[in-house]
Structure 1
Amino acid sequence: MTTQIYTMGYEGRKPAELLRVAEQLDATIVDIRLRATSAHPQWREGALRELLGDHYARCAQLGNTRYREPAGADGPRPIEIADFDAGAAYVLENSCPVILMCSCRQLTTCHRLSVVQLLWERHRVECRELDWDETGGAPKSVGIYWLEKWQDMQKMKASSGEEIS
């Protein structure tokens, strides 16, 4: 099982910052976008593989199959993980730290939150969202931030009578 799992979004960042983070943590950045493409060439799979080398891996199984669907008037974009069990098995077999990466800057509005919730619920694996220092792009862990936010969202849904998923 992996020693540590982190998550991060790259929006607003530079690819060189990913390399710095991967080297600092001696981690593999696992790209969990369903499609490793971007309007920005530096964020495409080939460019990331070239820059990150052995620090880059793909796991489309943890991608959101509904990523192209817009958010509804009553809530966020729908999320459906492509193949959680296969993706989790791939991530959990790593012996070095793993950083689950997507383009979304905010964990709370990204499918990364669903992935870390499922990792906790099914495997009792804690994941830590990497926050960014304003000076130099150095990561800092914000602990179980995701779990607290998820619990807050569940409480809000319950109080509004919304079905809890």
Structure 2
Amino acid sequence: QALGEREAMAAELYARARELQLANEQLRQAHARERKVAVTLQEAMLQSPALARHPNIAVRYLPAAKGLNVCGDWYDVMDLPGFGFAVGVGDVVGHGLEAAAVMGMLRSALSAAIRALREPGRAMDVLDLYTRAGEGALASTAVKAVIDTHRRHITYSSAGHPPPVLAHAD
């Protein structure tokens, strides 16, 4: 009888181990799908079409962690009719699909605000109101700068983010 109980227990343990292995594989596949969606979203949001029209602006995106680390970092360059362009950089705390989605919402909101208001400080005020309405957006930082190429003047506003750096080629 003891031998039969041991065989039954071994069979039960094997079945449970197999179920656990299958559940682990399903989780791995779900994580891989979420990562692919997040990477696709982040890469799409990091496209800045106006960047090609600004040969003096260089962008170098390096995630803080090694490997592919999808997160809420973003940048933006946009032309402003009549007097120059705007640049922005921001970071949403967190990783994965949620951080990438919040990043996309904040980047778009700040882009719209700066186009409408033309003043970085007022645009940040609008973004602050917007973040209060969104899940996961409160622990974010951003900086927006408007470069007036005619007057050779830069105005910027920062919401917890390090200030922009102007670096010359030399």
Report the structure, 1 or 2, having the larger helix content: 2
TM-score (norm 2): 0.29
Greater Rg by CA? 2
Q: Which has the higher contact order (CA 8 A, sep 6+)?
A: 1
